[in-house]
Amino acid sequence: MKPEMITLKHGDTTIKMPASSLAKLAVASVFAQVLPPAANVQPITQNDIPAVGQPWPGQGGINGGLVAARGDVPEHYLIITAEDAGSHEWGRRGETSGATSKTDGLANSAILLEEGSHPAARAASKYTADNHNDFYLPATAELYQGWVNCPEVFVQDCYYWSSSQRSAFTAFGLHFAVGNQLSLVEDDELRVRPVRRLFI
What's the whole-model pTM score? 0.78
What whole-number distance in Å separates Cα of residue 180 and Cα of residue 144?
9
The CA dihedral of 126, 128, 134, 136, to the nearest 10 degrees, is -50
Q: What is the pLDDT of residues 13-30, one digit of tens each?
A: 555 556 655 455 554 454
Please provide the CATH number assigned to the domain covering 47-199. 3.10.100
How far CA 134 is from CA of 60, 92, 106, 121, 162, in Å, comes to 10, 23, 9, 12, 17
Q: What is the pLDDT of residues 96-129, one digit of tens each?
A: 999 999 999 999 999 999 999 999 999 999 999 9
What whole-number distance in Å separates Cα of residue 63 and Cα of residue 122?
23
